[in-house]
Amino acid sequence: MNRPRFCRWYRVIPLIAMFVLSVSTLVLYALRDSNTWKYFYPVKHEEIIVSACRRYDVDPYLAAAVIKCESNWDEKAVSHAGAQGLMQMMPATAEHLAKTGAVSAKRFDPRRLSEPEVNIEYGVCYLSMLAKQFSSRDEVIAAYNAGPTQVSAWKKDNETPIQKSITFAETGAYVTSVNQTYECYKRLYPQGIGHHD
C-alpha cells in the first residue's frame, strides 16, 4: 500500500522543523519576560520575611533564596531527616534557639514549625547566628546545610575559599543553588522582597 504523497520525509521534516522553531521562539520570548520568571521564583509571606530579617539583620533576598531551595515555598514540607516547613528547620535547632532566648518561645512556639511565621522566625534567626560566626555568604549557606561544626572544619585553611574546601557534594550543590537563586531574586525584585513591579 502506497503512503499518501504528502507524508514523504522531505515534506514532513520541514514542517516538524518549523513547528520546533515556533515553539522554541515562544518559549524564549516567555523566558525573557520577568513575569514568567516570577512564576518560577515567587515570593510568599513577604511581610513575615521582611519583618524577621529586620529583627535579625539578615538580607531578605538570602532568606527567600533559602526558602526556595529548601522547600520551594511548601510550608508543609518535611524532609527524611525531620526538617520542617518553609526553611526546613530541625526541631532540635528551633528548641535550642528558644531555650537560649534567641527567639521568644512565648511568641513563636518551636512546636509549630509548620506555621510560616514561626518557621521563618527560627530560620532567619539561625541565618543571623551563622552570619555572626562566619565571614562570607558562602560559609553561611554551607553551614545552613551541613552545620557550623562541619564548615569550621572545612575552614581550617583560611586561604582556601569555602567552595573549594567543601567535601560534601550535596553541600557544594546547595551553595551554588542558593547563590544562583539569590541572584535571581535580586534581579526579579530590584526594589526588594515584597515590592512587585
Q: Given the residues 47, 70, 95, 117, select the one marked as catalytic.
A: 70
- As a whole number, mean pLDDT of residues 130-143 equals 96
Flag whether pLDDT at 22 surpasses 80: no
Q: Which residue type is seen at 72?
A: N
pTM score above 0.85:
no
46 is catalytic: no
Gap between the Cα atoms of 2 and 100, Å rounded: 82
Residue-level pLDDT at 144 = 98
Per-residue model confidence as pLDDT tens digits over 48-88:
999 999 999 999 999 999 999 999 999 999 999 999 999 99
Flag whether pLDDT at 16 surpasses 80: no
Flag whether pLDDT at 28 surpasses 50: no
Per-residue model confidence as pLDDT tens digits over 95-134:
999 999 999 999 999 999 999 999 999 999 999 999 999 9
CA 53 to chain CA mean position, Å:
15
Per 3-state DSSP, the chain is made up of helix, strand and coil in percentages (nearest 5) of 65, 0, 35
Residue-level pLDDT at 171 = 96
Residue 89 backbone dihedrals phi, psi, to 5 degrees: -80, 140
Gap between the Cα atoms of 68 and 153, Å rounded: 27
The radius of gyration of the chain from alpha carbons, rounded to an integer in Å, stands at 22
Residue-level pLDDT at 50 = 97
